[in-house]
Structure 1
Amino acid sequence: MSAIPAYTPPDFSRPDLAAAPAARTEPAPADGVLPQGFHATSNHPEYLHLGDGDWLLARESRMDAVMILRGREVGVMEPRLVKRGDPVVVGRSEEGEEGIYVHPAGFSSPAAATGKFAFRTRGTRETPFSRSYDELYAVLRHDRERGHIVWVLGPAVAFDKDSRDAMQFMVEHGYCHALLAGNALATHDLEAARFRTGLGQDIYTQVLQPHGHYNHLDIINEVRLHGSIPRAIRELGLSDGIIPACERQGVPYVLAGSIRDDGPLPGVISDACLAQDAMRVHARRATTVIALATQLHTIAFGNMVPGYHVTAEDVVRPVFFYVVDMTEFSTDKLANRGSLQAVAILTNAQDFMVNLWHNLR
């Protein structure tokens, strides 16, 4: 499919790579402590030289992690998970000098011919996004059956009836294989299912309801009374919305808590490391990520997701990462944190979701 470019691996017959030494490891001196000179991974494909011209691609990589090399197996893990004695790959060069090669150009396509000066070389509020949308539709249709589509959502998606209905459609029709969010998205989605409001406003008319500012607190209290989100959905008869759709369809969702959470809802993971571990499960499988109106969760997940995915058939393909927000600041922030593969679409949550809904159904 044209929307998913082919991967061009490095040419390991190049004289410099053919002469590269084998990658070295040193044992971790203690749990969660790395040896001096450890190699930190990027989100690009990275190879280790095992000797005799044999190079091994690190699967399931991520930014700011380390490689553990045991025989012919390389694992990538967060430094806090390293155990005493683990063989950690060491080396700070990335061109093969120490048996480590980082390959950022595997999915590159020939650049359009331009002169030395050109306008609009980066995405801004003035950028037309028609092609980005068309590519996204094609990717979603492909990955619906042959990938793992992860959504990272802020609560704005649940504040509007149409965007909430559109996201429910994505879940029910196979365009969402995992959902990552915080306490707020689930709270306001369940508030809408119970009271038809989002932070006290009618989700269609946006009219403030009498005592509506209590509604999100009331739904948190009711869910806590029932003991869990699934049980509350069942016993309160909540039938519409994003979280009820995830429950019906068996789509996993990870709710990562923050210091400002009300409640929080049962099931929200308040330990940051445990939340990261739960999100990382889906980062390892992700082939397409859509991060919508949530800056902190977007940056967090962006740091966990590599720019490539190795399929069960050992095919290397890109991981598509779309960042949707109204401001350039939010989308630039992710790029500034190293996720250069992210494609920005600058619009509001409702317009984006309804656009997808109309073109995919």
Structure 2
Amino acid sequence: MAFQLPVYHHPDFSALGLDDAPNVRWGTVEQNGVIPEGFHSTSMYPEYFKIDGNWKLAASSRMDACIVLRDDGTLHVVTGRHLKQGDLVALGRSEDGSEGIYVHTDGFEDPTASNGEKFSFRQGRSRETAYTRDYDDLIELLQYERDHGFIEWVMGPAFAFDADSRHAMQRLVEEGYAHALSGGNALATHDLEGAMFHTALGQDIRTQQSMPNGHYNHLDTINRVRRSGSIAQFVDDYDLHDGIMYACVKKSIPFLLAGSIRDDGPLPETIADVYESQHQIRVLARKATTVICMATMLHTIATGNITPSYHVDEDGTVRPVYIYAVDASEFVVNKLHDRGSLSAKTIVTNVQDFIFIVAKGLGVL
């Protein structure tokens, strides 16, 4: 059966007994970057605000931000440090509608469906979980999203260390299953090292054997990219023809490289300013309808905390945003849940195996 988006159900405020709920209160920002006391902190869920007697859905959301009412009546999600003097910020610490703020956590659930058994085994996500259905669902989702959504891949450098997984990701990009790529300096560095030297951190990406003086390879790669001035120019200058970054360049797929304190180089496109990196992650999150985070704990948590659980299309249709966290460590994927990203689906597995299975299932290998 072809994939179908679930129907979104707006809350029935009358049934919830909220017809007489008060309008949301607003506080005025008195100092740039300082939030009024008693502000409402947003979640990743759809949130409604009662304004002039009507409940209005914020078109986007994210964790730990503020709702600002603009002069034209639109609601904007704004991080505290970006607030400007005079901004009107929603106030209230209740989310049940009693203060004019209602957080809707089950809008994509079928209200007529049974909740099933109250007790059952194997409800957690661990190494023992059977993920066959998850792979089938993800493959159907990606087939739909290629033409109807925006797929963002958030990746750690593990993919660049293995020839097969690197090739699998390249093929996914080439076949339209990636609309944006996000990661760190290391992902791009070692992928480009693989294209130039067939190594990653000096080890052959096919045999994992250390090459003589291989520890220079990633530094030589960075230096040459910096000499070229950009990754795209480097690909052309050295006539490279394989890898993840090569595929992004040739298919004009945007990529975001967020820097860290331990980066070598970095590459020209790597964003060294952590707050600018966060902003650019947020820009991608507002576009994304499916986000797949793999083998990078900090990038996974950062992206998960910024990404809403829903997306409002131009025609007003509300659709879910699908978030996957994939890692060999149960601790990593569970930490995303611990940080509040409860809408994420987790898969505990080796990411090289994961990407190969997905690429084979989509028929790109």
TM-score (norm 1): 0.97
- Residue in 1 that maps onto 2:197: 195
What letter corresponds to residue 113 of structure 1 in structure 2? G
- Residue in 2 that maps onto 1:327: 329
- Residue in 2 that maps onto 1:163: 165
Spell out, residue by residue over 1:190-249, the C-alpha distance to the aligned partner (whole angstroms, 9 max, x if none).
000000001111111111111111111110111112222111111111121111111111
C-alpha distance in 1 between matches for 2:313 and 2:241: 36
What letter corresponds to residue 243 of structure 2 in structure 1? G
Answering whether residue 262 of structure 2 is matched by residue 297 of structure 1, we say: no
* Number of aligned positions between the proteins: 359
Spell out, residue by residue over 1:120-154, the C-alpha distance to the aligned partner (whole angstroms, 9 max, x if none).
12111100001111110111011101100000000
C-alpha distance in 2 between matches for 1:33 and 1:14: 37
1:1-361 mapped onto 2 (5 Å cutoff) = 2-14=3-15, 16-52=17-53, 54-70=54-70, 71-109=72-110, 110=113, 112-115=115-118, 117-361=119-363
In the alignment, structure 1 segments of 5+ residues that lack a partner are none
C-alpha change, 1:191 and 1:111, in structure 2 (3 Å) is: farther
C-alpha displacement of 1:311: 1.3
C-alpha displacement of 1:16: 2.6
C-alpha distance in 2 between matches for 1:359 and 1:6: 26
What letter corresponds to residue 263 of structure 1 in structure 2? G
C-alpha distance in 2 between matches for 1:351 and 1:15: 46
3-state secondary structure, aligned to 2:17: helix
C-alpha distance in 1 between matches for 2:156 and 2:125: 22
C-alpha distance in 1 between matches for 2:192 and 2:310: 35
C-alpha distance in 2 between matches for 1:146 and 1:65: 28
Q: Which runs of 4+ in 1 moved over 6 A?
A: none
C-alpha contact 1:21 1:51 (8 A) present in aligned 2: no
C-alpha distance in 2 between matches for 1:196 and 1:313: 47
3-state secondary structure, aligned to 1:213: helix
In the alignment, structure 2 segments of 5+ residues that lack a partner are none
C-alpha distance in 1 between matches for 2:269 and 2:102: 41
TM-score (norm 2): 0.96
C-alpha displacement of 1:112: 4.8
C-alpha displacement of 1:252: 0.4
Give the percent of matched residue pairs that are identical in Structure 1 and Structure 2.
Answer: 52
C-alpha distance in 2 between matches for 1:126 and 1:3: 29
C-alpha displacement of 1:118: 2.4
C-alpha distance in 1 between matches for 2:178 and 2:18: 41
Spell out, residue by residue over 1:6-54, the C-alpha distance to the aligned partner (whole angstroms, 9 max, x if none).
11110022363111111121111111101010110001100011133x2
C-alpha distance in 2 between matches for 1:46 and 1:137: 30
